[in-house]
């Protein structure tokens, strides 16, 4: 098959790889219908996490089961499936607690399985899926092509935005500010609107992203940055901060902005992977009773709730994809996102 390999900073290659096959009874092999590039894939591309060896890359995809191992019970050949961005058994104590990203048997796309065998990255034609019963969720039938972007978003960004909203306690009557206008931040806007927030303030200085935020139901858009943005939010909310702040970037500046945006007693839900010195400052948390929760989103936990809504059209995070490319042009997809010409790029095989 053809699949994507990460060789190092700015070196992404579409190349020949071994065809995956069933290695364990709990495996399935999926033919990828659509995959995409994640903001976190860009770190390596940008040189943040230099790796010695070429490695398979990509952790978001939807597809059709090609073959199922003898021990797989919940999906079968021909099923259309959504794959969360981590592999989990969905039965251990942490999975039962709804934290599949801390599964005791967690495995990562592009990493090694529990027996040391290579797991495929997801920006490719086929993927071997370990722990298929715990990881994949099948749709009732074959979704139309128009639903693919929305379903693909459930693989990571929509579930991650939803996680930020839950961690921040979003609900009816709440005022919400979203820091970050990437695909996750935009999905966080959508999640907050879906959860009934009274006010959803998106922070974005880019017209294209502001447009998606508004389409997703943001009641206000703030174009300022940092402390200025926090001050504008406080003004909008009558000189207090937001009940709930969704931090969807992961930098020191974005976390500080989130802290300055929350009202006393407010909550920050953070899902931006902490890079570049991001920290949670205990001083303002303590003095102003700002709670901080969130982390690596257990999107598997949310599929049961979100998938039916995407299938029947009530929920459509698909517009976060503003560029579609053939997978063979995967390197262009990375560049487009790296240069912020695309919010999120969808790859068709």
Query: Under the rule (CB under 8 A), what is the footprint of its own copies?
Result: 93-94, 97-99, 101-102, 167, 238-240, 255, 263-265, 267, 270, 273-274, 278-283, 285-296, 298
Cβ atoms of residues 35 and 58 within 8 Å: yes
CB of 204 to its own copies, least distance (A): 23
Q: 155, 125, 129, 147: which is closest to 38 by C-alpha?
A: 155
CB of 4 to its own copies, least distance (A): 25
CB of 287 to its own copies, least distance (A): 6
DSSP state, 136? Answer: -
What are the residues whose beta carbons fall under 8 Å from the beta carbon of 62, sequence distance 6 or more? 32, 33, 34, 80, 81, 82, 83, 148, 151, 152, 155
With H, G, I as helix, E, B as strand and everything else as coil, classify residue 126: strand
Q: Which residue lies nearer to its own copies by CB, 106 or 128?
A: 106
CB of 297 to its own copies, least distance (A): 8
Cβ atoms of residues 61 and 80 within 8 Å: no
Q: Which residue lies nearer to its own copies by CB, 148 or 259?
A: 259
Q: Which residue lies nearer to its own copies by CB, 48 or 140?
A: 48
Cβ atoms of residues 119 and 113 within 8 Å: yes
Helix axes 157-167, 299-311, angle to 10 degrees: 110
CB of 207 to its own copies, least distance (A): 31
Q: Which tokens sit at 155? A: 């693989």
What are the residues whose beta carbons fall under 8 Å from the beta carbon of 93, sequence distance 6 or more? 104
Q: Which residue lies nearer to its own copies by CB, 101 or 342?
A: 101
Q: Which residue lies nearer to its own copies by CB, 214 or 240?
A: 240
Burial class (CB in 10 A: 0-12, 13-18, 19+), 222: buried
CB of 292 to its own copies, least distance (A): 6
Instruction: Please give the Cα distance from 146 to 28 (Å, whole number).
Output: 25
Q: Which residue lies nearer to its own copies by CB, 126 or 270?
A: 270
CB of 298 to its own copies, least distance (A): 7
Instruction: Please give the Cα distance from 247 to 178 (Å, whole number).
Output: 6
Q: Which residue lies nearer to its own copies by CB, 89 or 125?
A: 89
């Amino acid at each position: 098959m053809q699949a994507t390999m990460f060789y190092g900073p700015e070196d992404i290659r579409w190349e020949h790889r071994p065809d995956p096959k069933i290695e364990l009874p709990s495996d399935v092999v999926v033919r990828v219908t659509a995959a995409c590039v994640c903001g976190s894939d860009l770190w390596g591309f940008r040189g943040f996490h230099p790796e010695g060896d070429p490695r398979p890359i990509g952790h978001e995809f939807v597809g059709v089961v090609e073959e199922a191992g003898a021990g797989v019970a919940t999906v079968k050949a021909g099923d259309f499936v959504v794959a969360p961005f981590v592999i989990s058994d969905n039965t251990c104590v942490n999975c039962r607690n709804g934290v599949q990203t801390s599964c005791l048997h967690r495995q990562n796309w592009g990493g090694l399985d529990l027996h040391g065998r290579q797991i495929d990255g997801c920006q490719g034609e086929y993927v071997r899926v370990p722990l298929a019963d715990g990881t994949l969720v099948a749709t009732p039938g074959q979704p139309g092509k128009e639903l693919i972007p929305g379903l693909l978003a459930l693989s990571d960004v929509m579930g991650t935005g939803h996680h930020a909203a839950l961690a921040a306690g979003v609900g009816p009557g709440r005022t919400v500010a979203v820091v970050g206008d990437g695909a996750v931040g935009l999905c966080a806007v959508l999640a907050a609107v879906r959860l009934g927030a009274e006010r959803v303030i998106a922070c974005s200085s880019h017209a294209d992203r502001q447009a998606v935020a508004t389409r997703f139901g943001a009641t206000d858009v703030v174009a300022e940055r940092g402390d200025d943005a926090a001050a504008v939010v406080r003004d909008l909310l009558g000189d207090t901060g937001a009940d709930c702040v969704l931090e969807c970037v992961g930098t020191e500046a974005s976390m500080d902005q989130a802290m300055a945006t929350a009202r006393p007693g407010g909550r920050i839900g953070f899902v931006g992977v902490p890079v570049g010195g991001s920290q949670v400052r205990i001083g303002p948390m303590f003095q102003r009773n700002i709670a901080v929760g969130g982390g690596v989103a257990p999107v598997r936990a949310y599929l049961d709730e979100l998938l039916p809504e995407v299938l029947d059209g009530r929920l459509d995070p698909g517009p976060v994809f503003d560029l579609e490319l053939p997978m063979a042009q995967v390197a262009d997809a990375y560049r487009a996102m790296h240069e912020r010409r695309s919010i999120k790029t969808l790859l068709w095989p």
